[in-house]
């Protein structure tokens, strides 16, 4: 069933929202003020046509927009887009009763994303390599992507050839591709086991093509060059498929904010430290204790520190902070500064321990405004004061948002 809808506002995921007699209807790719023809299916609708377009509607830069599920808002004018994204963070904080100072959005430029998680599949007609359509397992075979670094986009034909060589079935699998200083680092997940001549053919292809490394399900198949990334001035060899900040420039911005806030701290805890995004930079100024639950990531951090130059002492600890957060007693015994950068679920239990501590300077980094607001509420209730919150648009044209919150706790009077 189709109908004419008037869009009143944008929802949290970037969908246009229409208010109807039956409640709200969410229309992807529609903008506030527009009158649209939509195919209705309960609370969801597919945009059929725009009858009265918004003056804020612009031409999307990518031919795949609207089909590929990677972007939601390429069609929204830049200033309005930035205001909408900043407001997502403001609203999340306000929902927890936090009226914190929020900076303007730090923008992200196109063609800067250094990692991509493609879906790949071989078919009777050839190779599919791209991203899933929204809310679907259908693969949109991409020929361009204005988000990604040119080094990745230019390698799409090569990656299709690689897909054909490593796929052991017609089932779809993940192909994680990361731009490094040494070339592309490719990590496949679920492509199947390579044996004998097939494995040798893949090894020869990778060497010939100039890829830095290929791994399958965590096993390094071949590594012609060490795929190095930089954490400030320190070279890091990440494990296959490791988490990295998506945009190097955004990482530099966030690290700069954290480093400046913790500049007076002499002993810093880096919680959910990963491969050392913050720890290896902070070690230029003071001693750092890095805590991370992933053994391979913390080993990479430790190795980078040992080969780094000009760093103060960095100690590492493998510890699942969701199961066993650092206690307030542990924090008070050693640290005067702290940064934590958890996954999207946030760090509720760890935040409760930080709130009870007397660590003076805290930086909270998050890719989820909702869980960030929850964790900040805990810290504020424990006596911390939010001095600044900076939204960083690391995930351009998507509803996802990175943010850095800086907090201080006044010294106790003796």
Place of tokens 């702290």: 338
Known binder of ligand: residue 272?
A: yes
Residue 338 has pLDDT above 90, yes or no: yes
Q: Look up the pTM and report it.
A: 0.94
Nearest-angstrom CA–CA distance, 376 and 355: 9
- Walk me through the domains of the chain, giving residue ranges and CATH numbers: 2-57 (2.40.50.140), 83-109+244-408 (3.40.50.150), 115-228 (2.40.50.1070)
Residue 140's DSSP bridge partners are 131
**Amino acid 414: pLDDT:** 47
Closest of 24, 166, 74 to residue 6, by C-alpha? 24
In tens, the pLDDT along 342-367 reads 999 999 999 999 999 999 999 999 99
Q: Name the residue among 47, 3, 46, 48 with its Cα closest to residue 22.
A: 3
Burial of 413 (0-12, 13-18, 19+ CB in 10 A): exposed
Asked about 68 being catalytic, the answer comes back as no
Going along 99-201, which residue ranges are E strands? 115-123, 126-132, 139-141, 173-180, 183-189
Query: How many whole angstroms from its chain centre is CA 70?
Result: 13
Model confidence at 411: pLDDT above 90: no
DSSP run (H or E) holding 378: helix 369-381
Alpha carbon distance 208, 233 (integer Å)? 30
Give 186-226 pLDDT, tens digit per residue: 999 999 999 999 999 999 999 999 999 999 999 999 999 99
**Rounded to the nearest 5°, which phi and psi values hold at 204?**
-65, -40
Q: Is 309 exposed, middle or buried (0-12, 13-18, 19+ CB in 10 A)?
A: exposed
292 has binding-site annotation? yes
The full length of the chain comes to: 414
Is 22 annotated among the ligand-binding residues?
A: no
Catalytic residue among 62, 71, 145, 367: 367
Asked if residue 273 lies in contact with residue 247, where contact means CB atoms within 8 angstroms, the answer is: no
pLDDT at residue 21, rounded to an integer: 87
Question: What is the C-alpha separation between 173 and 215, in angstroms, rounded?
Answer: 13
Please write the tens of the pLDDT for every residue from 19-78: 998 899 999 999 999 999 999 988 999 999 999 999 999 999 999 999 999 999 999 999
Cα distance between residue 189 and residue 173, in whole Å = 6
Q: Average pLDDT, stretch 306-329?
A: 97
End-to-end CA separation in angstroms for the chain: 71
> What pLDDT digit, counting tens, does each position of 235-287 carry?
999 999 999 999 999 999 999 999 999 999 999 999 999 999 999 999 999 99
Which residue's entry shows tokens 């918004």? 54
Rounded to whole angstroms, the Cα distance separating 43 from 24 reads 6
310: left (phi over 0), alpha (psi -120 to 50) or beta: left
Please check if 24 is assigned to a binding site. Answer: no
| Nearest C-alpha neighbor of 406 from the set 260, 211, 204 | 260
**pLDDT at position 352, please?**
98
- 413 band by pLDDT with thresholds 50, 70 and 90: low
- The mean predicted confidence, pLDDT, of the chain is 96
């054909």: which residue's tokens? 164
Phi-psi region of 79 (alpha: psi -120 to 50; beta: other; left: phi over 0): alpha
Model confidence pLDDT, tens digit, residues 137-189: 999 999 999 999 999 999 999 999 999 999 999 999 999 999 999 999 999 99
């Amino acid at each position: 069933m189709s109908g004419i809808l008037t869009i009143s506002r944008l929802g949290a995921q970037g969908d246009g929202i229409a208010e109807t007699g039956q409640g709200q209807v969410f229309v992807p790719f529609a903008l506030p003020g527009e009158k649209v023809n939509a195919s209705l299916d309960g609370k969801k609708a597919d945009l059929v046509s725009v009858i009265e377009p918004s003056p804020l509607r612009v031409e999307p830069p990518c031919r795949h927009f609207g089909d590929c599920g990677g972007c939601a808002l390429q069609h929204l004018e830049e200033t309005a887009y930035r205001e909408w994204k900043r407001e997502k963070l403001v609203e999340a904080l306000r929902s927890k009763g936090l009226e914190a100072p929020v900076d303007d959005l730090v923008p992200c430029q196109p063609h800067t994303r250094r990692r991509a998680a493609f879906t790949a599949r071989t078919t009777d007609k050839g190779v599919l390599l791209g991203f899933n359509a929204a809310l679907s397992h259908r693969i949109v075979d991409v020929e361009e992507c204005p988000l990604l670094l040119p080094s990745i986009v230019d390698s799409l034909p090569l990656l299709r050839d690689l897909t054909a060589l490593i796929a052991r079935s017609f089932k779809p699998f993940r192909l994680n591709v990361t731009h490094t200083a040494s070339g592309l680092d490719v990590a496949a997940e679920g492509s199947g086991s390579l044996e004998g001549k097939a494995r040798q053919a893949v090894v020869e292809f990778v060497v010939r093509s100039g890829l830095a490394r290929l791994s399958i399900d965590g096993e390094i198949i071949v590594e012609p060059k060490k795929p190095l990334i930089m954490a400030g001035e320190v070279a890091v060899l990440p494990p296959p498929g490791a988490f990295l900040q998506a945009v190097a420039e955004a990482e530099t911005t966030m690290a700069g904010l954290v480093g400046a806030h913790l500049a007076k701290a002499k002993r810093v805890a880096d919680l959910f430290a990963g491969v050392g995004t913050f720890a290896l930079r902070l070690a230029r100024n003071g001693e750092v204790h890095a805590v991370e639950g992933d053994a391979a990531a913390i080993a990479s951090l430790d190795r980078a520190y040992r080969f780094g130059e000009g760093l103060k002492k960095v100690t590492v600890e493998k510890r699942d902070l969701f199961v066993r957060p650092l206690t307030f007693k542990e924090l008070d015994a050693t640290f005067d500064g702290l940064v934590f950068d958890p996954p999207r679920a946030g760090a509720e239990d760890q935040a409760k321990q930080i709130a009870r501590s007397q660590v003076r300077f805290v930086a909270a980094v998050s890719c989820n405004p909702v869980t960030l607001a929850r964790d900040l509420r805990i810290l504020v209730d424990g006596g911390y004061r939010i001095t600044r919150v900076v939204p960083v648009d690391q995930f351009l044209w998507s509803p996802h948002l990175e943010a850095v919150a800086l907090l201080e706790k006044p010294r106790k009077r003796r």
